[in-house]
Amino acid sequence: MSLTRRDFLAAIGATAALCGVAGVGVLTRSEDVPVRPPGAQDEDGFLSACIRCDRCRSICPESSIGVGHIEDGIFAARLPAMVFHDGRCTFCNLCVGVCPTEALHSIDPGQDKLGVAVITSNCLTWDDPGSCAVCRDVCPYGAVTIVGGMPVVDRSICNGCGECVHLCPALVYRSVSGDRSMRGVEVYPESVAQRKVDDGEVR
Amino acid sequence: MKPSAQRMLAGAGVFVVVSLGLAFRTGLGTPASFGLGVFAAICPLAWIQEALASRSMTVPALIGITLVIAITVVLGRVWCGWLCPAQFVRRFLGGRGQAAKDQADKPTLDISMDPEEVQADVQRIVAGERKRVRRASIPEGSDSRYWVLLAVVISTFIFGVPVFCLICPIGLSVGLLIDLWRLIQYNEVTWTILVFPAIIVLEFVIFRRWCHTICPIGILYGLISRLNRTWRPQVDYRKCLRATGIDCKECVKSCPEGIDLHHPLDSADISVCTKCRECVAVCPGSAVSIPFLAKEFTPSSSDLSSHQDQPRR
């Protein structure tokens, strides 16, 4: 095996090109991390372990796992992300069972969180307090209460299962871009939710 | 059915299986990981990258890579020849002309010989002087795919992310199918639907011979295939035109990997064979076959000498 100049250049060129791709990935990483499937809440760990095989999305019985898009960065594309428009996470662990790299882990819905729900500006009660309490009625964990006609999420109880998002009647039929339309209640990863609350975007 | 049509059908099967995973909750997966439960084959490059990026090795992934190695040991580098979506990209971009261009780009194996030399050459092969199977050797430095593989390893280790997966044309084509499906099913409008095909086209336009000069997955399957001893193309010199002194090189010319079945020592290693069956289909004497195990064919010297007596061409 003899090394030629050409080989050396090929090796350097390929390494530079791939580091460039990864570099662009780092630069385009979005702060707004989506809610990941169970056990993938450490974003860096998940990025290193997920091989984007699509098996968790495919097997989810509630169709609550969607897929990431290039708009959210090179790293985000093809990564599984929770979309609760079709159903909530029941913590059934089927996705964990098919993950070939253990990027997902089973979590305890009483202790751990996928994310937390927050009330967005699309909630019907902003215009008409007391008009809707669906999220309170459907929450399997009793994390939502109605205060002054408007829903309030107890973020210490909420584990981000997404049932409230699934059944929230706001903006259900006004979707022009599927997973991107925001309902009256949305689930975000804890850190993202905290930032949005601090910014006054949601409550 | 022509081998190329058979391979297209097999390649389309990959998309059918992915579509089944979109229509029903099969969880069968995609080329990155395909199977049931923990018994799923894993893309060997994805496995290496995941292990390097996360600095860990998981049991399901080990089961997966064991399965892939077992399948490749038995079937050889069939992924590249039969299942990889790259065949569709190449066809889409190059049409029929692509094969011809590839042909022109291939290192030429010009061994022009006069009929006596051709026959003498065959005699030597048959006599076992040049055994049809070459022993696995150290990877040659001149194959740029090894350098790409090294670059994948380095960049993945540095960034802690499976870097090649980000631009892998196989992953992107499957991802495109998933996004198109979700566009219709869920109204998910995304730039991915334009960006992924653009990346794939760019890759195959800049590197026209992507499979043979860039693809680290292909060379990884090639490395595993060094253990493969079955389904190897074999020439029956009782039928081969070369035994009659005709300097026929149809099988050599048809091989997309540059394997010369007559001179395995001077051509690409047999381990890169993708079992594509082009050589079988093209052989005018039907002398090339791909048996499960190499057959012993020892033509008697009279077989060959009887050819010698016949008028040439």
Q: Does A196 touch chain B (CB under 8 A)?
A: no
Please give, rounded to a whole number of angstroms, the shortest distance from the CA of A181 to a CA of chain B: 10
Q: Give B235's strand partners.
A: B288
Size of interface A-B (CB pairs under 8 A): 203
pLDDT value for B186? 87
Q: Which residues of A31-43 are buried (b: 16+ CB within 10 A; e: fewer)?
A: eebbbbbbbbbeb
| Predicted confidence (pLDDT) at residue B304 exceeds the cutoff of 80 | no
Q: What amino acid occupies position B137?
A: S
Interface of B with A in 194-213 (CB under 8 A): 195-196
pLDDT value for B106? 55
Please tell me the pTM assigned to this model: 0.89
Q: Does B144 touch chain A (CB under 8 A)?
A: yes
Lowest mean pLDDT among B58-72, B89-103, B156-170, B255-269: B89-103
Lowest mean pLDDT among A144-153, B229-238, B291-300: B291-300
So where are chain B's domains? 3-96+141-224, 109-133+230-309
Quickly count: other Cβ atoms within 10 Å of residue B79's Cβ: 25
What are the pLDDT digits (tens) for B108-133?
Answer: 455 566 778 888 888 877 776 545 44
Lowest mean pLDDT among A99-108, A127-136, B109-118, B211-220: B109-118
Q: Does A77 touch chain B (CB under 8 A)?
A: yes
Where in B188-261 does DSSP place strands (E)? Answer: 234-235
What are the pLDDT digits (tens) for A126-162?
Answer: 989 999 999 999 999 999 999 999 999 999 999 999 9
Name the nearest CA neighbour of B84 among B24, B29, B43, B39.
B43
Say if the Cβ atoms of B27 and A19 lie within 8 Å. no
Lowest mean pLDDT among B126-135, B198-207, B241-250: B126-135
Which chain B residues are within 8 Å of A21, Cβ to Cβ?
155, 163, 166-167
Name the nearest CA neighbour of A185 among A35, A31, A33.
A35
What is the rounded average pLDDT for all residues in chain A? 92
| Predicted confidence (pLDDT) at residue B307 exceeds the cutoff of 50 | no
| Predicted confidence (pLDDT) at residue B134 exceeds the cutoff of 50 | no
| Predicted confidence (pLDDT) at residue A28 exceeds the cutoff of 60 | yes
Residue of B nearest to A63 (CA): B25
So where are chain A's domains? 31-198
Which chain B residues are within 8 Å of A51, Cβ to Cβ?
32-33, 42-43, 46-47, 49-50, 162, 165
Instruction: Select from A22, A75, A176 the Cβ nearest to the Cβ of B155.
Output: A22
Instruction: Select from A57, A61, A178 the Cβ nearest to the Cβ of B188.
Output: A178
pLDDT value for B245? 86
pLDDT value for B1? 85
What are the pLDDT digits (tens) for A37-85?
Answer: 999 999 999 999 999 999 999 999 999 999 999 999 999 999 999 999 8
Lowest mean pLDDT among A5-9, B18-22, B53-57: A5-9
Q: Does B260 touch chain A (CB under 8 A)?
A: no
